[in-house]
Structure 1
Amino acid sequence: MSTPLKNEKIFITGGAGFIGSKLVGRFIQDNSVTVFDNMFRNSLKDKDYYTHPNLTIINGDILNLKELRKAITDSTYIVHAAGIAGIDTVTHNPIKTMEVNMLGTANILKTASELENCKKVICFSTSEVFGQRAFRSSEESEAILGAVGEARWTYAVSKLASEHLAYSYYKQLQLPTVILRPFNIYGPGQIGEGAIKLMIEKALNDQPITIYGNGTQIRAWCYVDDMVEAVVCSLTNEKANGESFNIGNEKAITTINELAHTIIRVLHSNSNIQHKAQTTADIQLRIPDIEKAKRLLSFEAKFGLEQGIQLTAENLNC
């Protein structure tokens, strides 16, 4: 699928990661793309465009302002997808989570504001800013953060702070920023944690699928190609400037138990399901309202859950 962006210099932090590496593939044919990533999770190396002549890969740290400033020179579009994520990673590294997600975003916005021709900055936030129960939460819904001391919420707090900073750069300096809040993105090439990815891997090998808690937690699942399309819509639409958007699939809703059974059925697996006690705070309900994205971006998720599961299984490492 082509993109309306051509002959631009696109800078992607976290460009070697799950979503970032997919974005590279979308832009690489018609643009110069620079990936800035510490390569902690490298999904890009498995892509067929890894050696594309339009691609520059810089192994860098977004906490290093001098390094970042040098790498971002002359960029026209910026996608800030770098960050610490994943419940296990976050709970074991709360300090690093806060530093990377807040200070890293501050560095990106500062360097972007210094560029002569920065046309757009996309900042990834998270649906976690809506707390444990989010039913058709809109962009105007109140942010709900968990108790201090529960490590899981350091991620949501750091991302919410980053949202306020991005919006401040837009209001005070007229930097064209856009905030995207992904809701449970999954698909091929996901590295590290991810419920659907882990379940599919188990199902393909007929191994037991583990569910933490009673499995009645409800999620809306969004296939990665739909997330990429939302980024493209945000980059190419002036109406997005200074706005935040929920990005998800409000039609692909299921409990965790139902998700596991669907994966087993779709993949003709012999896996069984086992339950273990939940040891950290969990999200009980997470369903987005995406009317704003429909209205301003003309975006709506297209991939159904069963289709997404099949595509993920067929292209697990791609």
Structure 2
Amino acid sequence: MTILVTGGAGFIGANFVTDWLRRSSEPVVTLDSLTYAGNPGNLPDHDRHTLVVGDIADRGLVAQALATHRPRAVLHFAAESHVDRSITGPSAFIQTNVVGTFELLEAVRLYLDQGAVGERAAFRFLHVSTDEVYGSLPSDAPAFTETTAYAPNSPYSASKAASDHLVRSYHHSFGLPVLTTNCSNNYGPYQYPEKLIPVAIRSALSGAPIPVYGNGTNIRDWLYVADHCSAIRAVLDRGRVGETYNVGGNNEVANIDLVRMICNLLDEMAPLPSKRSYGEQISFVTDRAGHDFRYAINSSKITKEVGWQPTEQLASGLRKTVRWYLDHGQWVTDALKRRDQGRVLA
């Protein structure tokens, strides 16, 4: 028995692969094209892990990986995910998130059509998506549920919404045994240093202004990556085929308050010789185009149906995250070099 993980060298995927190998005796095959955000160094050197370098849009390569390793599940993490990049260069998001998901689904469909009936019944295709497909909430609105209408506001969220719809259609049209999860903002170790939390940490430590969009009042629900990994395992094991499950951290906070929390932790864990606070470096910058005001997840369905709920509070998870980045400065330096080079050689 084997699982295949797409995008397993990225932030969430690498945390999932590492956690899976720690908790399970089942082998893992990672399929990753190793773009700037996919780092093979994020993955463990383990005899039950195989890395296949390639693009999910390469149907022939995917078909070969499926035929060779015969996984009992595909967990689809692979995606272009940075909103700012989707605004300045949306093409890559359509190619990976839409076309890539289509080609992956087609390869899996053909793989199952050629297999035994029992193998098909036990198989699962788990698609990992985002709460951003639901659009933006006012401050007093109820949190997103699985029946909230889609209203994506960026090329990134629109491309993920399209991939969600493709996955759903392959279940209803072809009987593909799919599961979909829509998660809130993740944070934790190995997050690429272009996202808010690692940007704040890196900027603070380098003495640079810590950028905060607009007036900093935009609200996000933060999910510690280890909690997300446990949710994925639970849905894979106990989720109902064809269903969608929202995965939230129950940690809503305004961006400015989150950055201040980071600064306070750095004041404690890496105090400046001058004794001044890192908070003095906070700088408000021009707001992101089409910036969604608030995301919030109602996780009652996943709790009721599969028995999952988050265990990490934001204060404790953020402390672990700041500690990790303080201890892994070379990883950050290397990740930024990879970005400048465009990709890394395997």
Both proteins in one fold, TM over 0.5: yes
Which residue is equivalent to 1:235? 236
Amino acid aligned to 1:88: D
For the residues of structure 1 that align with 2:252 and 2:101, how far apart are their CA atoms? 31
Query: Percent same amino acid at aligned positions?
Result: 27
Paired residues of 1:220 and 1:249 also in contact (CA < 8 A): yes
Paired residues of 2:6 and 2:78 also in contact (CA < 8 A): yes
Counterpart among 10, 13, 19 of residue 17 in structure 1: 10
Q: CA deviation at 1:302?
A: 1.0
1:285 aligns to 2:294 (yes or no): yes
For the residues of structure 1 that align with 2:292 and 2:40, how far apart are their CA atoms? 30
For the residues of structure 2 that align with 1:255 and 1:240, how far apart are their CA atoms? 34
SS in structure 1 of the partner of residue 5 of structure 2:
strand
Paired residues of 1:185 and 1:248 also in contact (CA < 8 A): no
Could you list the per-position Cα deviations for residues 216-238 of structure 1 after superposition, in whole angstroms to 9, with x for gaps in the alignment?
A: 1111111100110111001111x
For the residues of structure 2 that align with 1:126 and 1:307, how far apart are their CA atoms? 23
For the residues of structure 1 that align with 2:73 and 2:193, how far apart are their CA atoms? 27
1:55 aligns to 2:52 (yes or no): no
1:186 aligns to 2:179 (yes or no): no
Which residue is equivalent to 1:66? 60
For the residues of structure 2 that align with 1:165 and 1:130, how far apart are their CA atoms? 16
Amino acid aligned to 2:34: M
Which residue is equivalent to 1:158? 159
Q: CA deviation at 1:279?
A: 4.1
Paired residues of 2:34 and 2:40 also in contact (CA < 8 A): no
SS in structure 1 of the partner of residue 296 of structure 2:
strand
Question: Which protein has the bigger helix share?
Answer: 2
For the residues of structure 1 that align with 2:31 and 2:151, how far apart are their CA atoms? 31
- Correspondences of 1:100-119 after superposition (within 5 Å): 100-113=96-109, 114-115=111-112, 116=115, 117=119, 119=123
Could you list the per-position Cα deviations for residues 21-54 of structure 1 after superposition, in whole angstroms to 9, with x for gaps in the alignment?
A: 111112225112111111112344144x2x2111
Could you list the per-position Cα deviations for residues 222-268 of structure 1 after superposition, in whole angstroms to 9, with x for gaps in the alignment?
A: 1100110111001111x431111111112x11111111111111232
SS in structure 2 of the partner of residue 143 of structure 1:
coil
1:309 aligns to 2:313 (yes or no): no
Q: CA deviation at 1:192?
A: 4.1
For the residues of structure 1 that align with 2:305 and 2:135, how far apart are their CA atoms? 25
Q: CA deviation at 1:132?
A: 2.4
SS in structure 2 of the partner of residue 129 of structure 1:
helix
Amino acid aligned to 1:13: T
Which residue is equivalent to 1:86? 82
SS in structure 2 of the partner of residue 287 of structure 1:
coil
Paired residues of 1:12 and 1:34 also in contact (CA < 8 A): yes
Paired residues of 1:11 and 1:33 also in contact (CA < 8 A): yes
Paired residues of 1:266 and 1:306 also in contact (CA < 8 A): no
SS in structure 2 of the partner of residue 122 of structure 1:
strand
Q: CA deviation at 1:207?
A: 4.2
Could you list the per-position Cα deviations for residues 54-73 of structure 1 after superposition, in whole angstroms to 9, with x for gaps in the alignment?
A: 11111101111111111122
1:33 aligns to 2:19 (yes or no): no
Q: CA deviation at 1:202?
A: 3.0
Amino acid aligned to 1:288: I
For the residues of structure 1 that align with 2:305 and 2:205, how far apart are their CA atoms? 40
Could you list the per-position Cα deviations for residues 147-188 of structure 1 after superposition, in whole angstroms to 9, with x for gaps in the alignment?
A: xxxxxx222222112112211222233221111111101111
Which residue is equivalent to 2:342? none
Counterpart among 134, 139, 148 of residue 141 in structure 1: 148
For the residues of structure 2 that align with 1:203 and 1:28, how far apart are their CA atoms? 34
Amino acid aligned to 1:38: S
Paired residues of 2:83 and 2:155 also in contact (CA < 8 A): no
TM-score (norm 2): 0.82
1:253 aligns to 2:252 (yes or no): yes
> RMSD of the alignment, in Å?
1.8
In the comparison of the two structures, how many residue pairs are matched?
A: 301
> Which structure 2 segments of 5+ residues have no match?
272-276, 332-346
Amino acid aligned to 2:32: D
Counterpart among 127, 133, 141 of residue 131 in structure 2: 127
For the residues of structure 1 that align with 2:285 and 2:88, how far apart are their CA atoms? 20
